[in-house]
Amino acid sequence: MAKAIQQIELQQSTAEEMQQKDMERIVSQIADNKQAITSMLEIVDQLEATGVLDILKGFLSAREKIGTIAVEQINQPNIHHTIKNMFYTMGFVGHLEPEKLRTMLESVQKGVETASTHAEENEKTSTWGLVKSFRDPHVVLALSTMVSFLKGMGKELEEKGDAQ
């Protein structure tokens, strides 16, 4: 019969053997992820070429100063209001239908261009000229739109109890 094993000897890897295994594992991972690593190196190359890496290095070396300045700015009372207003504005814009907003903004742009041209000509409109402009269908449409806007705004103010 065979003799019973009394002691198990563990083979200890030397530091060189462990380093060799680690290197083999790394090379294997590089080979498996060749495309991803190549893409990443291309991105880093572009970041270097555009100077973004230099900016990031500068940012990281001055991170404590930048962090202190950022916290000081955020702790100012007006900044809290600004941040709240940004959230309200984003919510407001999010509720608007994009096509309607585009139409209104393009109309405002055209109105600004027309008003700018009129102001550059430095012509004063007489009272009779203002009265005659009420016959212009474009003026009537713009005024009707503004009145509708004011009606909607007034209804909302009344519902919120802010009307005075």
Query: Are 111 and 142 within 8 A, CB to CB?
Result: yes
The predicted structure's pLDDT at residue 1? 61
Least confident of 1-15, 108-122, 134-148: 1-15
Least confident of 19-28, 78-87, 120-129, 130-139: 120-129
Provide mean pLDDT across the span 101-126: 89
At residue 120 the predicted structure's pLDDT band, cuts being 50, 70 and 90, is confident
The predicted structure's pLDDT at residue 163? 47
Least confident of 75-79, 91-95, 145-149: 75-79
Query: Are 79 and 73 within 8 A, CB to CB?
Result: yes
Place of tokens 């065979």: 2
Can you tell me the distance from the alpha carbon of 54 to that of 60, in angstroms, rounded to the nearest whole number?
A: 10
Q: Give the residue with greater pLDDT, 104 vs 161.
A: 104
The predicted structure's pLDDT at residue 122? 79
How far apart, in Å, are the Cα atoms of 88 and each of 76, 85, 160? 19, 5, 16
Can you tell me the distance from the alpha carbon of 137 to that of 151, in angstroms, rounded to the nearest whole number?
A: 21
Can you tell me the distance from the alpha carbon of 53 to that of 56, in angstroms, rounded to the nearest whole number?
A: 5
Residue 51 zone, left/alpha/beta (φ > 0; ψ -120 to 50; rest): left
Q: Which residues lie below 8 Å from residue 59, measured CB to CB, with a gap of 6+?
A: 66
| Residue 142 CB neighbours (<10 A) | 13
